[in-house]
Amino acid sequence: DWKNPLGWLLAVPMWISFTIFVIAVFAETNRLPFDLPEAETELVGGYHTEYSSMKFALFFLGEYAAMITGSAIIVTLFLGGWHFPGIPDGSHGWFFGLVNIFVFFAKITALLFVFIWVRFTLPRFRYDQLMRLGWVFFFEIALVNIFCAAAIIPFFDQ
Protein backbone atom coordinates (compact mmCIF):
# COMPACT_ATOMS: atom_id res chain seq x y z
CA ASP A 1 0.00 0.00 0.00
CA TRP A 2 1.65 3.18 -1.21
CA LYS A 3 1.41 6.18 1.06
CA ASN A 4 2.40 9.75 0.43
CA PRO A 5 5.43 10.69 2.56
CA LEU A 6 3.77 14.00 3.43
CA GLY A 7 0.67 12.14 4.58
CA TRP A 8 -2.22 14.32 3.48
CA LEU A 9 -0.78 16.89 1.07
CA LEU A 10 -1.02 15.56 -2.50
CA ALA A 11 -0.36 18.91 -4.19
CA VAL A 12 3.41 18.40 -3.84
CA PRO A 13 3.90 15.04 -5.62
CA MET A 14 1.16 15.89 -8.12
CA TRP A 15 2.12 19.53 -8.67
CA ILE A 16 1.56 19.40 -12.43
CA SER A 17 -1.98 18.09 -12.02
CA PHE A 18 -2.59 20.56 -9.19
CA THR A 19 -1.47 23.54 -11.28
CA ILE A 20 -3.48 22.53 -14.35
CA PHE A 21 -6.58 21.84 -12.25
CA VAL A 22 -6.39 25.18 -10.42
CA ILE A 23 -6.03 27.05 -13.71
CA ALA A 24 -8.92 25.04 -15.17
CA VAL A 25 -11.11 26.00 -12.20
CA PHE A 26 -10.18 29.65 -12.79
CA ALA A 27 -11.20 29.29 -16.44
CA GLU A 28 -14.41 27.42 -15.60
CA THR A 29 -15.60 30.12 -13.20
CA ASN A 30 -14.93 32.83 -15.84
CA ARG A 31 -12.79 34.83 -13.48
CA LEU A 32 -10.05 37.13 -14.66
CA PRO A 33 -7.70 36.55 -16.45
CA PHE A 34 -9.99 34.10 -18.31
CA ASP A 35 -13.01 36.40 -18.57
CA LEU A 36 -13.40 37.23 -22.26
CA PRO A 37 -15.52 40.26 -23.19
CA GLU A 38 -17.46 39.68 -26.42
CA ALA A 39 -20.02 42.46 -26.86
CA GLU A 40 -20.04 46.20 -26.30
CA THR A 41 -21.91 45.98 -22.99
CA GLU A 42 -19.42 43.41 -21.74
CA LEU A 43 -16.55 45.77 -22.53
CA VAL A 44 -18.08 48.39 -20.25
CA GLY A 45 -19.03 46.33 -17.22
CA GLY A 46 -19.91 42.85 -18.32
CA TYR A 47 -23.30 41.37 -18.98
CA HIS A 48 -24.21 42.30 -15.41
CA THR A 49 -24.89 45.90 -16.52
CA GLU A 50 -28.24 44.83 -17.96
CA TYR A 51 -29.48 43.46 -14.64
CA SER A 52 -30.26 45.08 -11.33
CA SER A 53 -31.52 44.17 -7.91
CA MET A 54 -32.15 40.50 -7.25
CA LYS A 55 -31.11 39.22 -10.69
CA PHE A 56 -27.78 41.00 -10.31
CA ALA A 57 -27.31 39.48 -6.86
CA LEU A 58 -28.18 35.99 -8.13
CA PHE A 59 -25.59 36.24 -10.91
CA PHE A 60 -22.88 37.05 -8.39
CA LEU A 61 -24.17 34.43 -5.96
CA GLY A 62 -23.86 31.83 -8.71
CA GLU A 63 -20.36 33.03 -9.57
CA TYR A 64 -19.17 32.82 -5.99
CA ALA A 65 -20.93 29.47 -5.45
CA ALA A 66 -18.94 28.11 -8.40
CA MET A 67 -15.75 29.48 -6.82
CA ILE A 68 -16.57 27.85 -3.48
CA THR A 69 -17.40 24.53 -5.16
CA GLY A 70 -14.20 24.58 -7.21
CA SER A 71 -12.17 25.46 -4.11
CA ALA A 72 -13.80 22.61 -2.17
CA ILE A 73 -12.89 20.16 -4.95
CA ILE A 74 -9.29 21.42 -4.97
CA VAL A 75 -9.08 21.11 -1.18
CA THR A 76 -10.52 17.60 -1.27
CA LEU A 77 -8.35 16.30 -4.11
CA PHE A 78 -5.01 18.01 -3.53
CA LEU A 79 -4.82 19.77 -0.16
CA GLY A 80 -5.83 16.95 2.15
CA GLY A 81 -9.46 17.87 2.78
CA TRP A 82 -10.02 18.21 6.51
CA HIS A 83 -6.66 16.76 7.55
CA PHE A 84 -4.19 18.90 9.47
CA PRO A 85 -0.58 17.96 10.27
CA GLY A 86 -0.89 18.00 14.07
CA ILE A 87 -4.08 15.98 14.33
CA PRO A 88 -3.73 12.18 13.96
CA ASP A 89 -6.07 10.28 11.66
CA GLY A 90 -9.03 8.71 13.39
CA SER A 91 -9.27 11.26 16.22
CA HIS A 92 -12.71 11.02 17.79
CA GLY A 93 -14.81 13.48 19.69
CA TRP A 94 -16.81 16.55 18.90
CA PHE A 95 -13.84 18.88 19.35
CA PHE A 96 -11.78 17.17 16.65
CA GLY A 97 -14.85 17.15 14.41
CA LEU A 98 -15.18 20.91 14.78
CA VAL A 99 -11.45 21.36 14.19
CA ASN A 100 -11.69 19.28 11.00
CA ILE A 101 -14.61 21.38 9.75
CA PHE A 102 -12.73 24.58 10.59
CA VAL A 103 -9.59 23.33 8.79
CA PHE A 104 -11.60 22.43 5.67
CA PHE A 105 -13.30 25.82 5.51
CA ALA A 106 -10.05 27.64 6.30
CA LYS A 107 -8.44 25.98 3.27
CA ILE A 108 -11.43 26.95 1.13
CA THR A 109 -11.19 30.53 2.40
CA ALA A 110 -7.48 30.64 1.55
CA LEU A 111 -8.25 29.49 -2.00
CA LEU A 112 -11.01 32.09 -2.32
CA PHE A 113 -8.46 34.71 -1.31
CA VAL A 114 -6.19 33.41 -4.10
CA PHE A 115 -9.11 33.67 -6.56
CA ILE A 116 -9.72 37.30 -5.62
CA TRP A 117 -6.01 38.14 -5.50
CA VAL A 118 -5.41 36.75 -9.00
CA ARG A 119 -8.43 38.62 -10.33
CA PHE A 120 -7.03 41.96 -9.18
CA THR A 121 -3.42 41.19 -10.07
CA LEU A 122 -3.35 39.72 -13.57
CA PRO A 123 -4.54 41.36 -16.78
CA ARG A 124 -7.16 39.82 -19.05
CA PHE A 125 -6.07 37.47 -21.85
CA ARG A 126 -6.99 38.06 -25.45
CA TYR A 127 -8.91 35.27 -27.14
CA ASP A 128 -5.93 34.08 -29.21
CA GLN A 129 -3.66 34.06 -26.14
CA LEU A 130 -6.19 32.02 -24.20
CA MET A 131 -6.60 29.45 -26.98
CA ARG A 132 -2.82 29.11 -27.35
CA LEU A 133 -2.42 28.72 -23.59
CA GLY A 134 -5.13 26.07 -23.34
CA TRP A 135 -4.58 23.98 -26.44
CA VAL A 136 -0.85 24.29 -27.04
CA PHE A 137 0.52 24.54 -23.52
CA PHE A 138 -1.82 23.01 -20.92
CA PHE A 139 -3.28 20.27 -23.11
CA GLU A 140 0.18 18.94 -23.96
CA ILE A 141 1.38 19.13 -20.36
CA ALA A 142 -1.75 17.29 -19.19
CA LEU A 143 -1.21 14.53 -21.77
CA VAL A 144 2.45 14.12 -20.80
CA ASN A 145 1.42 14.03 -17.14
CA ILE A 146 -1.14 11.27 -17.80
CA PHE A 147 1.32 9.16 -19.79
CA CYS A 148 4.11 9.60 -17.21
CA ALA A 149 1.77 8.65 -14.38
CA ALA A 150 0.58 5.60 -16.33
CA ALA A 151 4.20 4.56 -16.93
CA ILE A 152 5.31 5.08 -13.32
CA ILE A 153 2.36 3.49 -11.49
CA PRO A 154 3.16 -0.16 -12.39
CA PHE A 155 6.62 0.16 -10.82
CA PHE A 156 5.23 1.33 -7.48
CA ASP A 157 2.14 -0.88 -7.42
CA GLN A 158 3.67 -4.03 -5.94
**What pLDDT digit, counting tens, does each position of 143-155 carry?**
988 888 888 777 7
Percent of the chain whose pLDDT exceeds 70 = 77
Q: Is the pLDDT of residue 1 over 50?
A: no
- 89: CB partners within 8 A, 6+ apart: 83
The Cα–Cα gap between 103 and 82 comes to 6
Confidence of residue 129 (pLDDT cuts 50, 70, 90): confident
Pairwise CA distance, residues 56 & 126, whole Å: 26
- Calculate the average pLDDT of the chain: 80
Closest by CA to 24, choosing from 130, 126, 121, 113, is: 130
- Is 36 in contact with 125 (CB distance < 8 Å)? yes
Q: Name the DSSP class of 39.
A: S
Q: What is the pLDDT of residues 30-67, one digit of tens each?
A: 777 777 766 555 555 666 666 677 887 888 888 899 99
58-98 pLDDT per residue, tens: 888 888 999 999 999 999 988 888 887 777 667 678 888 88
Cβ-defined contacts of 35-39 (< 8 Å, 24+): 35/124, 36/124, 36/125, 36/127, 36/130, 37/124
Over residues 130-134, mean pLDDT: 84
